[in-house]
Amino acid sequence: LQMALQRGEIEIDYQPLVDLQTRRCVGAEALVRWRRNDGQRVRPDLFIPQAEDSGQICAITQRVIELVLQEQAALLRQHPHLYISVNLAAADIRDAAFVAHSQRLLTKYGVPASQLLYEVTERGLVDVQRASSLLQAQRDSGHRIAIDDFGTGYSSLSYLQQLPVDVLKIDKSFVDTLGSDAASSPVAPHIIQMARELGLKVIAEGVEHEAQACQLLSLGAQVGQGWLFSKALDAASFRAFVARHG
């Protein structure tokens, strides 16, 4: 991984985020990929956990942010309503230098903090008190914060009110069972209702079918992400997607 970072083998794909009502593109999630020198692309599930264990995840996150800005700063300046969503690991949230570092990069590329949204998972929030103050610092500097894979952790409800967050991302597993007989099928509707009561926005992940998009919209979710709209795209293809659907 150290070599991968040095050799520039880290790449970003962008999966469009789409307004469920208008079907226009509102942004993208940055998804990291490792292109080995044999040309093979390693999926993040295979190296992110390792990077978390070895402590290299913070360097990867910084690289991801820098690549996003390198590749998309012009697009972001041209479309001030667009945002890119970046995944943070637990170590990034604990890293006191993180806020200053990302601020430096944003200034360098002339992109406001409001155009970078940070996704954190419940795993990253175990120490709620500490996470809360660091997330607040990011929010104070203009970023929005989303809780990723919401509902798959164990303590979702208890910390929601204590944390400075703006968006809940509903996990694909709950979108999959929407409208089915599965025991988890009422979960997505409940999450959306709760988000509304707390004044939070909802992004639904893994939307594959038109019926899911319609149902999510009627339940009150604002944004969708999934193969129905687009798979993850390389940097240039995402810009083309924005030109067609922006």
Give the amino acid at 239. Answer: R
Query: Is 202 in a helix, a strand, or coil?
Result: strand
Per-residue binder mask for Ca ion (CB under 5 A), 218-237, x = binder: --------------------
CB of 93 to Ca ion, least distance (A): 14
**Angstrom distance (rounded) from CA 67 to CA 148:** 21
CB of 37 to Ca ion, least distance (A): 27
Of 56 and 87, nearer to Ca ion (C-beta) is: 87
Between the CA of residue 54 and those of 48, 121, 183, 245, what are the distances in Å? 10, 19, 38, 40
Query: Is 31 in a helix, a strand, or coil?
Result: strand
CB of 2 to Ca ion, least distance (A): 24
Size of the site for Ca ion (CB under 5 A): 4
In the list Ca ion, ligand C2E, none, the entry touching 9 (Cβ below 5 to 8 angstroms by class) is: none
Of 134 and 203, nearer to Ca ion (C-beta) is: 203
* Per CB under 5 A, 87 contacts Ca ion: yes
CA nearest neighbour of 194 among 226, 156, 225: 156
Structural tokens at position 42 = 């390693």
Of 161 and 188, nearer to ligand C2E (C-beta) is: 188
CB of 3 to Ca ion, least distance (A): 26
163 secondary structure, DSSP code: S
In the list Ca ion, ligand C2E, none, the entry touching 48 (Cβ below 5 to 8 angstroms by class) is: ligand C2E
Write out the residues near ligand C2E by the rule CB under 6 A. 15, 30-32, 43-45, 48, 61, 64, 87, 89, 148-149, 205-208, 225-227, 232
CA angle in degrees (0–180, nearest 5) for 224-171-96:
100
- Contact residue for Ca ion among 148, 150, 176, 200 (CB under 5 A): 148
Of 23 and 80, nearer to ligand C2E (C-beta) is: 23
Q: Which residues of 193-227 are buried (b: 16+ CB within 10 A; e: fewer)?
A: ebbeeeebbbbbbbbeeeebbebbbebebbbbbbe
Residues at the interface with Ca ion (CB under 5 A): 87, 119, 148-149
